[in-house]
């Protein structure tokens, strides 16, 4: 886990008087497998693929955290060992090789690698809500350009819960601001939906509508030497700030 500057510097007071705090996370930041479990994953190609992690997503999270002055939480192990973007009870929180382990081993993995990430994000949101009117949580991800023979038709995906009025309104404004400022292809609730089991849903259930959560997904086809273009990051940040300022 890495943290940005302290909480008060992550607050933004808008013209409307609404005070917004920011929290940034990246659940699939790495494909690291700790030594006790490396024998379960001897397929380097699998670990390097989108099944093992989200390339470029950690850099995206650090960029947002640095420029928003927000705490940043990075997953410390591969999603294959313990997917930090799943509830601990989710049937696919572990890859099949881990699901085959004895219960005590699976519980130890959750306690050591999964729970600290989710607890850290939840604690940061809880602390921010003590001073702010709302928290905007950005969960940073990347997606493979092609899946199951189908080409993904977006550069940027904004995933949220359409039943959460605040999230739906902000997602529309964010999309409009991106389109107005660039030629990036942006779609909402694509390539996945933002209301299935995951970090942002966990926060919604715990904190309610004062937390607005988004999974920001970027197409891995845009990566340049393992990082997303700075022009794209600047556009995403400026458009998000503009959309947040408007409501």
What pLDDT is attached to residue 166?
Answer: 95
Give the integer Cα–Cα distance in Å for 103 and 1. 26
Q: For position 2, what pLDDT does the model report?
A: 45
pLDDT single digits (tens) 195-247: 999 999 999 999 999 999 999 999 999 999 999 999 999 999 999 999 999 98
List CB contacts of 226: < 8 A, sequence separation 6 or more: 55, 56, 59
Domain regions of the chain by residue span: 7-245
Which two tokens mark 147? 């899946």
Residue 216 and residue 73: Cα distance in Å, rounded?
Answer: 15
Residue 4 CB coordination number (10 Å): 22
Question: What does pLDDT average to over the chain?
Answer: 94
Q: How far apart are CA 11 and CA 4, in angstroms?
A: 13
Position 119 scores a pLDDT of 98
Q: Around Cβ 229, how many Cβ atoms within 10 Å? A: 13
User: Phi/psi at 141 (nearest 5 deg)?
Assistant: -145, 170
User: What's the confidence (pLDDT) of residue 18?
Assistant: 79
- Tell me the CATH architecture of domain 7-245: 3-Layer(aba) Sandwich (3.40)
Tell me how far apart the alpha carbons of residues 121 and 85 are, in angstroms, rounded to a whole number: 12
Helix (H, G, I), strand (E, B) or coil at 159: strand
pLDDT at 17: 72
List of the chain residues with pLDDT < 70: 1-10, 13-16
Model pTM?
Answer: 0.93
DSSP 3-state assignment of 237? helix
């Amino acid at each position: 886990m890495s943290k940005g500057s302290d909480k008060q510097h992550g607050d933004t007071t808008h013209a409307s008087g609404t005070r917004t705090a920011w929290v940034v996370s990246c659940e699939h930041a790495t494909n690291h497998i700790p030594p006790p479990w490396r024998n379960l994953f001897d397929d380097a190609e699998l670990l390097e693929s989108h099944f093992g992690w989200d390339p470029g997503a950690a850099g995206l999270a650090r960029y947002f955290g640095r420029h928003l002055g927000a705490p940043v939480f990075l997953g410390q192990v591969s999603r294959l060992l313990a997917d930090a973007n799943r509830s601990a009870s989710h049937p696919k929180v572990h890859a099949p090789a881990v699901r085959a382990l004895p219960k005590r081993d699976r519980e130890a993995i959750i306690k050591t690698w999964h729970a600290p990430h989710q607890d850290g994000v939840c604690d940061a949101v809880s602390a921010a809500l003590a001073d702010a009117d709302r928290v905007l949580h950005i969960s940073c991800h990347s997606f493979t350009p092609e899946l199951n023979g189908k080409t993904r038709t977006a550069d940027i995906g904004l995933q949220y819960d359409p039943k959460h009025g605040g999230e739906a309104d902000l997602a529309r404004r964010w999309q409009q601001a991106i389109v107005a400022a660039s030629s990036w292809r942006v779609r909402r609730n694509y390539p996945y939906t933002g209301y299935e089991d995951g970090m942002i849903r966990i926060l919604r259930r715990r904190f309610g509508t004062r937390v607005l959560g988004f999974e920001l997904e970027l197409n891995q086809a845009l990566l340049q030497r393992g990082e997303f273009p700075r022009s794209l990051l600047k556009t995403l940040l400026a458009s998000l700030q503009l959309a947040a300022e408007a409501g």
